[in-house]
Amino acid sequence: MRLITLLLLTFLCTSASAIFECAIAGPDACLGIHAQRIMLFEKLTASKSDRVYEGERLKFKMKGDKFWQEGPIREMRPDIQALIINDRFVMLDEIQIIHRGNTAGAAVGVGLMTFGVGWSFWAGVGYNTDGDPTTQYGRQDLMTSLTTIGSGFLIYTLFGQRKYKTGKYKRLRVIDTSF
């Protein structure tokens, strides 16, 4: 009986808060009819584009910069093809590379590096605590650790990140889908 009462109270509270938000924001916000602005990652040869919406975090590098910038997209301006990130305008033409996340290569690379460090650590702990003076941390342990750490780093560097580079065949565009 208590569970039913608790569920009923939870439902009424969430319904009341939704009605209160609709009264404050207006009828368009309740019906989901407000304008939607989307940034498209377009490729010349592809008919399908990736999309990013307002509020999502974007990690990018500007033309001529050597550092990455990151922040939430506060607003998209389709009239001037710009984004507002970290309270400043970023023109789409000035963006050189966008970081689109990690791939399976990143997980494999990090896993191999972790395995190499763990192999070396536990081999050292085992050889120091087993009490047998004939065992030692040997060349095979060192080579196993260095090989897996090196190959993991190489895989992570080469295949670990998805990047979208703008240029001749790829561009960014902000569109407004309100009718």
pLDDT for 15 equals 53
Question: Token digits for 118?
Answer: 């763990």
Per-residue pLDDT for the chain (179 aa), expressed as one digit of tens each? 666 665 555 655 555 444 544 544 444 445 444 458 888 888 888 888 888 888 889 999 999 999 999 999 999 999 999 999 988 899 999 999 998 888 899 999 999 999 999 999 998 888 888 878 778 888 998 999 999 999 999 999 999 888 888 888 988 999 888 76
Instruction: Using DSSP, state whether 7 is helix, strand or coil.
Output: helix
pLDDT in the model for residue 16:
47
Phi-psi map region of 86: left, alpha, beta (phi>0 left; psi -120 to 50 alpha): left
Rg (alpha carbons) of the chain, rounded to whole number:
26
Is 87 within 8 Å of 74 (Cβ atoms)?
yes
The 57-62 sheet, strands edge to edge = 88-91, 82-85, 69-77, 57-62, 95-102, 161-165
H/E/C letters for each residue in 8-51? Answer: HHHHHHHHHHHHHHHHHHCHHHHHCCCCCEEEEEEECCCCCCEE
The residue whose two tokens read 């536990």 is 122
Q: What is the pLDDT of residue 34?
A: 45
Alpha-helix residue ranges (DSSP H) falling in the chain: 2-25, 27-31, 104-129, 139-159
- Greatest Cα pair distance, the chain, in angstroms, is 80
Tokens of 162: 């998805």
Q: Which residue has the tokens 């710009």?
A: 82
Task: Tell me what pLDDT residue 7 has.
Answer: 58
